[in-house]
Amino acid sequence: MKFKLLLSVPAIFKAVKKEQKMVADIVEEEQLSGIISDNRFGVYHSKIPTVYITHQLNVLSGITTFITSKIHQKFIKKFTECWVPDFKNELNISGKLGRLNNPKIKIKYIGALSRFKKQEIALKYNLTVLLSGPEPQRTLLETKLLQELKQFKGTILFVRGVFSEESIESSQNFIIKNYLLADDLALALNQSNVIISRSGYSTIMDLLALGKKAFFIPTPGQNEQEYLAEICEKKGIAPFSTQQDFSLNDLEKLENYNGFKAIETTLDFRLFQLF
């Protein structure tokens, strides 16, 4: 994965230059008052307030973490402010990803962000599996879970995370969906007792908003997901397993974890005084 990322660096810088040109044209044509950029390096302008949104003030990449973090921070410094979707206090969920010692960047912590809201409704699924991420790892985890969860005692909603009409065979206790649109997914998650998923940051923020119990299986080779899963385990929120080692018995660990405590995700509109 690191080798592929290294090969993509020239294309990334080319895309950044293209973004800058497009943004300059749009600012001039539309007379914009400001820009909010969701992790897009090139979407900024030197003559108007520009905000960069990220939880990755530090970019975990193994032995190259120092380099990748400094490169990212160099890009962020070009922006007027950096908004971090996390909490500054003990509720923080990003750990060292969203923290800098002696920062030279103007950072504002804006709380967790999620499109979902907790609903007080009856549970329908004992377990919901949410698959996502790059291939071939998505398929490898799908195959693993379909096999391991055959003997699970309860109803499983299995969301494959593929935009396809292809169907797959499974045990009778599985309800399989290739994908769910936002409203249907929100309902399904609210109706689920436990969620099995990758430990991506957006997923963690969603589960926090919903106040759910979770079991995480980080994508192999993704240092950030592994780190976030470790944080949740240490805080007594959710256990995790490697993809290779996961077995049905691992779900017994859930009894020792409290799950996420639901926090309503709200945005302080005073942030927009910047513009």
Q: Residues 165, 208: one domain?
A: yes
Q: Which of 221, 222, 225, 217 is nearest to 242 (CA)?
A: 217
Residue 172 lies in a domain: yes
In a domain, 164, yes or no: yes
d(CA 224, CA 130): 18
pLDDT at 30 over 70: yes
CA–CA gap between residue 96 and residue 64 (Å, rounded): 16
Domain that holds residue 136: 125-256
Asked if residue 264 is part of any domain, the answer here is no
Residues 150 and 213 in one domain: yes
DSSP annotation string for 191-249: TEEEEEE---HHHHHHHHHHT-EEEE-PPTT-HHHHHHHHHHHHTTS--B--TTT--GG
Report CA torsion sign: 141, 142, 143, 145.
positive
Helix 201-210 × helix 182-190 angle, to 10°: 60
pLDDT tens figures, 122-171: 999 999 999 999 999 999 999 999 999 999 999 999 999 998 877 787 77
Residue with tokens 């490898």: 140
Domain shared by 145 and 249, yes or no? yes
Q: Average pLDDT, stretch 261-267?
A: 84
Could you give the CA distance from residue 104 to residue 107 in angstroms, rounded to a whole number? Answer: 9
Instruction: Write out the two tokens for 34.
Output: 């400001």
Verify cis geometry, omega within 30 degrees of 0, for the bond prior to 136. Answer: yes
Whether residues 100 and 129 fall in one domain: no
What mean pLDDT is predicted for residues 51-65? 91
Residue range 177-223, pLDDT digits in tens: 999 999 999 999 999 999 999 999 999 999 999 999 999 999 998 99
- Report, as an integer, the average pLDDT of 240-254: 96
Q: How many Å apart are CA 80 and CA 83, to the nearest integer? A: 10
Q: For the chain, what is the domain count?
A: 2
pLDDT digits (tens, 9 = 90+) for 66-105: 888 998 999 999 999 999 999 988 889 999 999 998 778 9
Considering the domain boundaries, does residue 116 fall inside one? no
Q: Which of 65, 85, 111 is the last residue of a domain?
A: 111
Residues 34 and 134 in one domain: no
Q: Are residues 61 and 140 in the same domain?
A: no
Is pLDDT at 9 greater than 70 in this prediction? Answer: no
266 occurs within a structural domain:
no
CA 32 to chain centre: 29
Looking up residue 243, the CATH number of its domain turns out to be: 3.40.50.2000
Asked if residue 79 belongs to a domain, the reply is yes
CA torsion angle 109 113 119 123 (round to 10) = -110
